[in-house]
Amino acid sequence: MMFSSVKIGKIYQVKNIVQNNPCLECTACTRLRLMEVGFFPGARFKIVKHLYGIWVMQFLTDKGFSEQTLALRDEETVQIILEDV
């Protein structure tokens, strides 16, 4: 599932972070940035809100507690592949 089809209040799990093909060798690699902040296969998060092109989400622990709150722009989410939890 693509990030564009998420619903506020639902919990999702990251399935993959897609690399550009071919790699564009961007100075600020979006894929690497996403992985640095916690988007890696198996990570779970809850969508809190979407406002003015910004997605706010909370990463969750294995027991469902909020571990970290993060915000991403719409254009930063296109590489994230998800699955429902």
Give the chain's domains with CATH numbers.
Answer: 3-84 (2.30.30.90)
Q: Give the mean model confidence (pLDDT) for residues 24-44.
A: 88
Predicted model pTM: 0.86
Residue 31 has pLDDT above 90, yes or no: no
pLDDT band at 72 (very low <50, low <70, confident <90, very high): very high
**Four-residue CA torsion sign, 61, 66, 68, 70:** positive
Residue 52's beta-bridge partner residues? none
Q: What 3-state class would DSSP assign to 75?
A: helix
The mean of the pLDDT values for the chain is 92
CA distances from 17 to 37, 51, 53, 59, 81 (A): 12, 23, 20, 16, 6
